[in-house]
Amino acid sequence: VIIDHTTGGRHGAPWLDALVDRSVSRSSAAAFRSYLDSWSGTDFHERVRDNPTPVLLVVGAHDPALGAEAMESTWLRWYPNARLEVLADAGHYPPEETPKDLARAIEAFLAA
């Protein structure tokens, strides 16, 4: 249900099942729990505010959780040299949904 929601409800059951199966087979409950605790409980924005490091933020247009709006209210405020790339045909999983578009965005950023 979570993966379906964060990809905009655009993928069929076989695609969703494959992503869930791959995720479950490549992670452990302990690792997932630690990641969740770190992601949801750690506030680092004051330590990175005004960091001049160039940053590429790649989000999917169909990601309701961590899409362009979330990046505009967080990362783009903290990193003055950040660039936002919104992939029109992706949700939360651009490597799985639009790998060629993701690769193009990364290559363009690195070439700039």
Residue 47's nearest CA partner among 79, 84, 81, 73 is: 79
Task: Report H helices in the chain.
Answer: 2-6, 13-25, 29-41, 45-48, 68-72, 75-78, 94-97, 99-111
Going from N- to C-terminal start, the domains of the chain cover 2-111
- Percent of the chain scored above 70 by pLDDT? 100
List pLDDT tens digits, range 45-79: 888 899 999 999 999 999 999 999 999 999 999 99
Asked if 13 and 90 touch (Cβ cutoff 8 Å), the reply is no
Which architecture does CATH list for 2-111? 3-Layer(aba) Sandwich (3.40)
CB atoms within 10 A of CB 91: 27
8: left (phi over 0), alpha (psi -120 to 50) or beta: left
pTM: 0.87
